[in-house]
Amino acid sequence: MKSLISKIANTNIGIKIRNSLGFRPIPISFRGVIKSSVSDAFCWRTDSNFSTIFKYTDILNLFYKIDNSYVEFHFYTNKNKLIKRLKFNNLNYSNSLTIDSKLLNGIKDYGTFYIYHFSDQKIKNNTIIANRCYLGYSKNKQLHSFVHGNVLAKFKNLNNLKGKQQNSLDIIKTSYINNGNYKIQNYFKDFDKTELFFANPTSEKIEFLIGKNKYILLKGCSKIIETTNQNSINIKSNCLFLRPTIFNYKNEFIDVYHG
Amino acid sequence: MNYFFGLKSNFFTSQITVPRFQNRGDANLNYNLYELSIENYLWSIKKLENLEINDDFFLITKDKIDNDKIFFLATEKDLNNFDKSKLTKLNSFTDSIPSYRANLKINLKGGGFSSYQSEYPHNMTLKKGTILSSVSSMANLDAEKNYVIIKNIFTEPIKEKFNIFFVDINNKKILDNVEIQTNYTNLIEINKSLIKPEIFLVTDKYIGIPIFISEKKLHLSFEHTHPPHEYILSDDKFIKITELKREINEIIN
């Protein structure tokens, strides 16, 4: 009986009920994730004269001595429309990709992208890797301001085998009500303006509130919200791990970091 | 329990904005801000006064920051357990998921600024070991100058020298090394010839947090790197990291 209750409590619905009631809430879970490459929902920007540099490590070579691995990038618009997939072989230990409008079919906007590591070699079932990577954002061709990945979102089988699980299982968990609370631990009064980039890391619709303003993000969508002159920023959401990437502006300078 | 720290140098000033609230909760005004430094081989503590911006934040300005000072939040009562001979966990107010962080901002004299959400967890102060960090992941060939900060906080009030090495892991060679010290914010300029995919930054004896700074035309970038265990989520993470560190330790030793 006890094990049956435990099984139910750890299903997607069970976790959502627990999260709604605040009873042993689970914001993040890797239950059911096996032999996977996990990616953050990374932000790309080509709007407002931005370009993005992405730096990533060949994890399978560095830690597992698998030297023929490759990566795939999947780029999406902020409405979750696939723009393109890119594949790179012959990786160095450390690699970089410049993301500008030329790379993204002329698009000057913002959205999300994901990186997955794959190998054709046999990999143990219990292996899970995550490339948190580093992103640099340059505005008006000035120095890139770097920040690392902010929120684990999607995963793929390390041998690039398709499975139902990777489309239906979320690492970041949700609740039926907006009881996820996250107050960014910085003071925002000194800036000309602040932009907050949010990506929906789940396969569900999520809601969030900043002050009295309510926002909705459908599956895979992303949004930049501008704010000015705030003492602090509090985010309430039905997503239990929703952290923005922050762009602070002062005069001609920008500063990008994770919340 | 987390500590906070800053940087003082000829090139940069820094400031630390310390939140008085947990990231999922409200402010707790019973917590004061304290400064620790080493005097006569003992930890010396001082309460910092009048740093409140408001009920939500303390601001530690550049004049209060030095490379051998660290800061933490505690109540008056917590100090009953303060030990001059070693850093002791005094409370769990800053133990949170996501991590409790302060904003560490650096300013270039006459130029721009950059920051990251920063903390040094108490459990890291109890450990010795090796840092392993890719240089080209964060250093920028396009910048005019690149630096790395190695911040170490060690539980014992000691100032001991140790080394940072720049290692070519393909050719198994040390390309450069610099002496740094414990309980200090060490700032090292990185030669551009070291910004290559196969070059890793490694320390002997002590761990710490590597934070990279790039500078170009008065603009700055400032961000910490991930420790290797963040790349592997499965149970084999410690085996894989130990194997890699052993391989690299053979080069530096």
- A124-143 tens-digit pLDDT: 878 999 988 999 999 999 99
User: What pLDDT sits at residue A87?
Assistant: 97
Residue B133 and residue B243 in contact, taking contact as beta carbons nearer than 8 Å: no
User: What pLDDT sits at residue A1?
Assistant: 66
With a cut of 50, which residues of chain B have pLDDT below it? none
Say whether residue B110 is in contact with chain A using an 8 A CB cutoff: no
Q: Which residue of A has its CA nearest to B104?
A: A186
Q: How many CA atoms lie within 13 A of B177 on its CB side?
A: 15
The single residue listed with the structure tokens 């302060």 is B102
Q: Is A194 helix (H, G, I), strand (E, B) or coil?
A: strand
User: What pLDDT sits at residue A164?
Assistant: 60
pTM of the model: 0.95
Confidence check: pLDDT of A3 > 80: no
Mean pLDDT of A57-77: 95
Helix A2-9 vs helix A12-21: angle between axes, to the nearest 10 degrees?
A: 80
Say whether residue B214 is in contact with chain A using an 8 A CB cutoff: yes
Q: Is B241 helix (H, G, I), strand (E, B) or coil?
A: helix
Q: What is the DSSP letter of B31?
A: P
From A46's Cα to the closest Cα of chain B, the distance in A is: 19
Q: Which residue of B has its CA nearest to A92?
A: B197
Contacts of A185 in chain B (CB under 8 A): 19, 21, 23, 100-103, 117
Contacts of B112 in chain A (CB under 8 A): 252-253, 255
Contact A257 B116 (CB under 8 A): yes
* Model confidence pLDDT, tens digit, residues B83-128: 999 999 999 999 998 899 999 999 998 899 999 999 999 999 999 9
Residue A61 amino acid letter: N
State chain A's mean pLDDT as an integer: 93
- Greatest C-alpha distance within chain B: 55
Contact B117 A259 (CB under 8 A): yes
Confidence check: pLDDT of A167 > 70: no
Q: Which residue of A has its CA nearest to B170?
A: A93
Confidence check: pLDDT of A91 > 90: yes
Q: What are the strands of the beta sheet with A253-258, ordered from one edge?
A: A222-227, A193-199, A245-250, A253-258
β-bridge pairing A50-57 and A134-139: antiparallel
From B210's Cα to the closest Cα of chain A, the distance in A is: 13
A255 phi/psi in degrees, rounded to 5:
-140, 125
Measured between its terminal Cα atoms, the distance across chain B in Å is 34
CA B220 to the chain's CA centroid? 18
Q: Where are the domains of chain A?
A: 36-168, 180-258
CB atoms closer than 10 angstroms to residue B81:
11
Most confident of A78-87, A151-160, B90-99: A78-87
Say whether residue B21 is in contact with chain A using an 8 A CB cutoff: yes
Say whether residue B223 is in contact with chain A using an 8 A CB cutoff: yes
A127, A132, A243 ranked by CB distance to B236: nearest: A127
Contact A92 B198 (CB under 8 A): yes
Contacts of B19 in chain A (CB under 8 A): 183, 185-186
Characterize A87-112 residue by residue with b for buried, 16 or more Cβ atoms within 10 angstroms of its Cβ, and e for exposed. Answer: eeeebbbbbbbebbeebbeebebbbb
How far apart are the C-alpha atoms of B208 and A141, rounded to whole Å?
Answer: 33
Mean pLDDT of A104-129: 94
User: What pLDDT sits at residue A168?
Assistant: 65
Strand partners, A152: A40
User: What pLDDT sits at residue A12?
Assistant: 82
* Model confidence pLDDT, tens digit, residues A209-235: 999 999 999 999 999 999 998 999 999
Residue B41 and residue B86 in contact, taking contact as beta carbons nearer than 8 Å: no
Mutate: best of A229, A247, A255, partner B, most B CBs <10 A: A255
Q: A-B interface: how many C-beta pairs under 8 angstroms?
A: 155
How far apart are the C-alpha atoms of A69 and A92, rounded to whole Å?
Answer: 10
Q: Would the CA dihedral through B26, B28, B32, B34 be positive or negative?
A: negative
Reported as a pLDDT band with limits 50, 70 and 90, residue A150 is confident
Contacts of A146 in chain B (CB under 8 A): 138, 140, 212, 214, 221-223
* Model confidence pLDDT, tens digit, residues A12-62: 888 999 999 988 899 999 888 889 999 999 999 999 999 999 999 999 999
Reported as a pLDDT band with limits 50, 70 and 90, residue A4 is confident
